Amino acid sequence: MTWEDNVRRAVPYVAGEQPQRSGMIKLNTNECPYPPAPGVKAALQELDWEALRLYPNTDAAELAEALADYYGIAPEQVFVGVGSDDVLAMSFLTFFHSGRPILFPDVTYSFYDVWANLFGIPYKLCALDEEWHIRPEDYMAVNGGVIFPNPNAPTGVAESLDTVERIVRANQDVVVIVDEAYVDFGAESALPLLKKYENLLVVQTFSKSRGMAGMRIGFAMGSPKLIGYLKNVKFSFNSYTMNYPSQKAGVAAVKDEAYFRLVTQKIMDTRKRAKEEFRRLGFAFPDSMANFLFVTHERIPAGELFAALRKADIYVRHWDKPRISDYLRVTIGTDAEMDRLFAFLRDYLSSN
Amino acid sequence: MTWEDNVRRAVPYVAGEQPQRSGMIKLNTNECPYPPAPGVKAALQELDWEALRLYPNTDAAELAEALADYYGIAPEQVFVGVGSDDVLAMSFLTFFHSGRPILFPDVTYSFYDVWANLFGIPYKLCALDEEWHIRPEDYMAVNGGVIFPNPNAPTGVAESLDTVERIVRANQDVVVIVDEAYVDFGAESALPLLKKYENLLVVQTFSKSRGMAGMRIGFAMGSPKLIGYLKNVKFSFNSYTMNYPSQKAGVAAVKDEAYFRLVTQKIMDTRKRAKEEFRRLGFAFPDSMANFLFVTHERIPAGELFAALRKADIYVRHWDKPRISDYLRVTIGTDAEMDRLFAFLRDYLSSN
């Protein structure tokens, strides 16, 4: 026996490529094309750098309070983590502990099965319908918990609050997690349901709509009991996860609602234009409520387009997976970036 | 059945209090009394804040390279995380996977049993000898892995490289983790053993000797194979753990070796003075190689002293645990802070 026989073998999640060349167009990881709120810059520049010698607040209390304030809930209903991936990983570890299979869509965020495998949580995939919608009845079976993004990724399709509530209501013996990473671009949040359901966890992030992927801030909102269990696991893992600069920068971002509205509206406007343009070029797509579009072309296979775009230094996302291999996920960039994308596509499609 | 029946119940680690009142003296969580290297301030102020909209480098490659350079190893031998607690938690999850009990000292960092409980890892405590030293023969039994801090906490006692090597050599069928959070204050690192043993993981942190607890930077060094397994688990948990400011600030800290030497030497000098003073006041303590002293008084119980100090706004650490309930762990502060501590103790001991 060697030491390697005693090691956990994990098959990691593969994130989108992160090349950073000037001139390239990066539409592959759903980042915000605009910088964070100006207050974030000020918060970082005025940071009491000598205070870095001290451990940060374990609960990121100031940030949790700012979020509670903004969303009209109590601070003990907020949990913050190092990006929503940290929050979701902790939630899997905390809430999906029954031994029964958890349920999530067959086409969804590809980290869910990675976490389930890492923690030995059994799971069952529920197929989306032909229009990429959740079939609520699939989530009525006995299960160990439910998770789905709303809007879903990589489709961008949003479910109504009514659909979400049907699923939460039918599963009050387990925890239902609604992953709202993309909710700020026109979808309905499940937040109002927190008043009625103790078993609901709503997870959001600063990485998309607040333009702060580099800062790593995610958060969850739920009943004080639910958040309490999550904190106990978090504090069994790492007392101090969110560093001092993130706590300060996070607060500054939350406090600038006008900038937040401006940026999300700009992205929705560009998405509208992009839809028209894609349609003109022979692409089809489900109606997206996220900061990306999930497009398929009537003639050219997605794999071929992906490769051609990559050669032109335009990065989008493509998965060689069942049901979605003929689609590209294209992040909504600035208008100028989208113009360059469409100029390339027009040219490519006219000569291929 | 309710949703609460399906939740993991964890008993969290309890960190030292983090009050932040002006005038108080905080000697309870082994923070550095001096700020980070001046380059850290510059790195944060010159931060490209617009780049915060992008995800950070998943491997914190620039920081891993700076550390590899500094310690004379290859970049693929370095793993970075959100404080050494993050690195250690990931290491427990990755390496202690055999089902056999892992071994660690009975008096040690109190997070070890918390992680073991969280991940369902069986463990066996090995009693330190009367001088708080590890008995290497205890670690020769069949086990699922070994972890110990060197110097140990909360005793401050350091083991020789020879003792460490005996334990690593005897356990080549499992992973041996040497937690060197406090190694920079005069102890010997196990780093030279990396050339000989593929099963050794050395974990260090920026929170103590580099004065950056608020930034959350920890790292592990080991064979490329070992680090590879650790990365696979990390990338199954969270792709982007270390934020962009931490990566930049970490590099700046590593590059200023002169400041690092200056600060650690200052703390060792103050520790020397503190030892003499404690001895004069009737305290005994093991010889510490860390940035704290583990002291017991000949007459006054530790619990009583702890309470009296707290009333005077001087925070030290006390555990109501077997073998150590009559000790206080006192972080080495600035000379001025230590002077105030000793003035209080002189006064208290002369009237009690």
Q: What is the pLDDT of residues A73-96, one digit of tens each?
A: 999 999 999 999 999 999 999 999
CA distance B33 to chain A (A): 7
Averaged pLDDT in 10-residue chunks for chain B of 352 residues: 92 85 92 98 94 95 98 98 97 97 97 96 98 98 97 98 98 98 98 98 98 98 98 95 97 98 98 98 98 98 98 96 96 98 98 92
CB A302 within 8 A of CB A278: no
Backbone region of residue B313 per phi and psi (left: phi > 0; alpha: psi in -120 to 50; beta: other values): left
Q: Which stretches of B140-223 are DSSP H helices?
A: 161-170
**Alpha-carbon gap, residue B237 to B92, rounded angstroms:** 13
Q: Please check whether residue B19 touches A, CB under 8 A.
A: no
Q: Please check whether residue B207 touches A, CB under 8 A.
A: yes
Report the relative pairing of strands A200-205 and A218-221 from DSSP bridges: antiparallel
Backbone region of residue A282 per phi and psi (left: phi > 0; alpha: psi in -120 to 50; beta: other values): left
CA distance B280 to chain A (A): 30
- Specify the pLDDT at position B14: 86
Judging contacts by C-beta atoms under 8 Å, the chain B residues touching residue A142 are none
Place of tokens 């190092």: A82
Q: What is the pLDDT of residues B122-162, one digit of tens each?
A: 999 999 999 999 999 999 999 999 999 999 999 999 999 99
**Alpha-carbon gap, residue B255 to B86, rounded angstroms:** 23
- Specify the pLDDT at position A173: 96
Side by side, the strands of the sheet bearing B292-297 are B283-284, B292-297, B328-331
Residue A14 pLDDT class (50, 70, 90 cuts): confident
Residue among A4, A36, A54 whose CB faces B53 most closely: A36
Crossing angle, helix A335-351 and helix A257-280, to 10 degrees?
10
Q: B307: which 2 tokens?
A: 């309470």
Q: Please check whether residue A21 touches B, CB under 8 A.
A: no
Q: Best of B6, B232, B315 to disrupt the A interface by mutation (most A CBs within 10 Å)? A: B6
Q: B170: which 2 tokens?
A: 């005897």
Q: What is the pLDDT of residues A115-145, one digit of tens each?
A: 999 999 999 999 999 999 999 999 999 999 9
Contact A6 B52 (CB under 8 A): no
Contact A1 B225 (CB under 8 A): no
CB A171 within 8 A of CB A136: no
Q: Please check whether residue A47 touches B, CB under 8 A.
A: yes
**Alpha-carbon gap, residue B267 to A13, rounded angstroms:** 43
Cβ neighbours for B259, distance < 8 A, ≥ 6 positions apart: B37, B38, B39
Contact A235 B12 (CB under 8 A): yes
How big is the CA angle at A247 (ends A244 and A252), to the nearest 5 degrees?
A: 130
ipTM reported for the complex surpasses 0.90: yes
Residue among A6, A173, A225 whose CB faces B145 most closely: A6
φ, ψ of residue B9 in degrees (nearest 5): -100, 115
Q: Please check whether residue B352 touches A, CB under 8 A.
A: no
Contact B214 A249 (CB under 8 A): no
**Alpha-carbon gap, residue A115 to B314, rounded angstroms:** 44
Contact B11 A236 (CB under 8 A): yes
Residue A209 pLDDT class (50, 70, 90 cuts): very high
Residues 159-188 in A contacting B (C-alpha not used; CB under 8 Å):
172-175
Q: Please check whether residue B47 touches A, CB under 8 A.
A: yes
Judging contacts by C-beta atoms under 8 Å, the chain B residues touching residue A41 are 49
- Percentage with pLDDT > 70 across chain A: 100
Q: Please check whether residue A145 touches B, CB under 8 A.
A: yes
CA-wise closest residue to A169 among A138, A211, A203, A200: A200
Around A190, how many Cα atoms within 13 Å sit in the side-chain half-sphere? 36
Average pLDDT of chain A, as a whole number: 97
Q: B162: which 2 tokens?
A: 């020879």
Question: Is the per-residue pLDDT at A22 higher than 90?
Answer: no
**Alpha-carbon gap, residue B139 to B152, rounded angstroms:** 16
Type of residue numbered B3: W
**Alpha-carbon gap, residue B293 to A336, rounded angstroms:** 61
**Alpha-carbon gap, residue B334 to B337, rounded angstroms:** 5
The residues that bridge with B284 in the sheet, in sequence order, are: B296
- Specify the pLDDT at position B9: 93
Q: Cα–chain-centroid distance for residue A313? A: 25
Domains along chain B with CATH numbers: 3-35+258-351 (3.90.1150.10), 47-255 (3.40.640.10)
Q: What is the pLDDT of residues A154-190, one digit of tens each?
A: 999 999 999 999 999 999 999 999 999 999 999 999 9
- Specify the pLDDT at position B20: 79
- Specify the pLDDT at position A15: 84
CA-wise closest residue to A116 among A16, A155, A108: A108
Residue B157, burial from CB neighbour count under 10 angstroms (0-12, 13-18, 19+): buried
pTM above 0.80, yes or no: yes
Q: Decide: helix, strand or coil at residue A35.
A: coil
Residues 50-69 in A contacting B (C-alpha not used; CB under 8 Å):
50-58
Place of tokens 């406007």: A269
Report the relative pairing of strands A176-179 and A200-205 from DSSP bridges: parallel
Q: What is the pLDDT of residues A274-290, one digit of tens each?
A: 999 999 999 999 999 99
CA-wise closest residue to B147 among B186, B94, B224: B94
**Alpha-carbon gap, residue A161 to A276, rounded angstroms:** 27
Judging contacts by C-beta atoms under 8 Å, the chain A residues touching residue B89 are 237-238
Side by side, the strands of the sheet bearing A200-205 are A78-81, A218-221, A200-205, A176-179, A146-149, A102-105, A123-126
**Cis-peptide, bond into residue B35, ω within 30° of zero:** no
Contact A52 B8 (CB under 8 A): no
- Specify the pLDDT at position A20: 79
Q: How far is CA B270 from CA B150, B211, B264, in A?
A: 21, 16, 10
Report the relative pairing of strands A292-297 and A283-284 from DSSP bridges: antiparallel
**Alpha-carbon gap, residue B70 to B79, rounded angstroms:** 14
φ, ψ of residue B17 in degrees (nearest 5): -60, 150
Q: Please check whether residue B21 touches A, CB under 8 A.
A: no
**Cis-peptide, bond into residue A151, ω within 30° of zero:** yes
